[in-house]
Amino acid sequence: MHDLHDLRADCGSCSGLCCVALPFSRSADFAADKAAGEPCHNLGADFRCGIHRDLRREGYPGCVAYDCFGAGQKVSQVVYAGQDWRRRPGSARQMFAVFPVVRQLHELLWYLTEALALPAARPLRPGLRELLDETERLTRGTPEEILAVDVAACRARANPLLLRASELARAGLRGKKRRGADLMGADLKGADLRGADLRGAYLIGARLKGADLRRADLIGADLRGADLSGADLTGSLFLTRSQLGSAQGDAATKLPPALDRPGHWTAAR
């Protein structure tokens, strides 16, 4: 699995795991409370969401922003060989525990796959490929093997390689170092953020309209409510569908090839 398109959620091949396994609380992101292991009341008998087209209007923007990185179909079709939690109620609790582990591993696969494709990271490719293949193998284990995976240890092994890949990709740009910075609500309209280190930065509600974010490292950056209208994100590093889904943008926002424009952006300013 060395293609970001392979890490795209295929809800038609999943038994609605994210709608059952995960909990959520009544908030700005969710209109109701739901416990882990409890099916969402909007989940149909066909494992499809009954309000999918109206999730934001019905008070569920958190669902719009959520992305399993393809873990749902991996658990449903590979780990459990096409069996679902309704037909195998005795395995339901285990299945719901396996899903978030595989989801975290698939997120790591996303970052490793992207790093592996960076021309500047060529010297790191042997290590990246080895770790990517090992992580993929972990996602295909038995349920018991998956539940025994130390995800934190996997991340700790990957982080130095991902960080070095980012440094190589951003070399020569002299980007701003704002790792973990509190930029909530910041006015960064039209800002030159090329090659910036924004890993883990808090950009909640930030005004990034027309900003240049080419080759900016956005791994773990919180973009909830950020205005990306007209921003240039082509070549940005480690950007995910979840981050875009939680932000606002428009038809002028430029995105990396592997990422689609969220549907709700048509209403953005």
The tens digit of pLDDT for each residue in 189-236 reads 999 999 999 999 999 999 999 999 999 999 999 999 999 999 999 999
Query: What is the SS3 assignment for 206?
Result: coil
Q: Check pLDDT > 80 for residue 266.
A: no
At a CB cut-off of 8 Å and minimum separation 6, what does 146 contact?
79, 98, 101, 102, 138, 139
Q: What is the CATH number of domain 173-269?
A: 2.160.20.80
What's the pLDDT at 6? 83
Tokens 């430029």 belong to which residue? 254
Is 235:175 a contact under the CB 8 Å cutoff?
A: no
Q: Check pLDDT > 50 for residue 240.
A: yes
40-60 average pLDDT score: 93
What's the pLDDT at 174? 84
What's the pLDDT at 184? 97
Is 228:212 a contact under the CB 8 Å cutoff?
A: no
- The domain spans of the chain are 4-169, 173-269
Tokens 């996602």 belong to which residue? 139
At a CB cut-off of 8 Å and minimum separation 6, what does 32 contact?
24, 26, 41, 59
State the CB neighbour count (10 A cutoff) for residue 123: 11
State how far the Cα of 61 lies from the Cα of 105, in Å rounded to an integer.
24
The pTM (predicted TM-score) of the whole model is 0.94
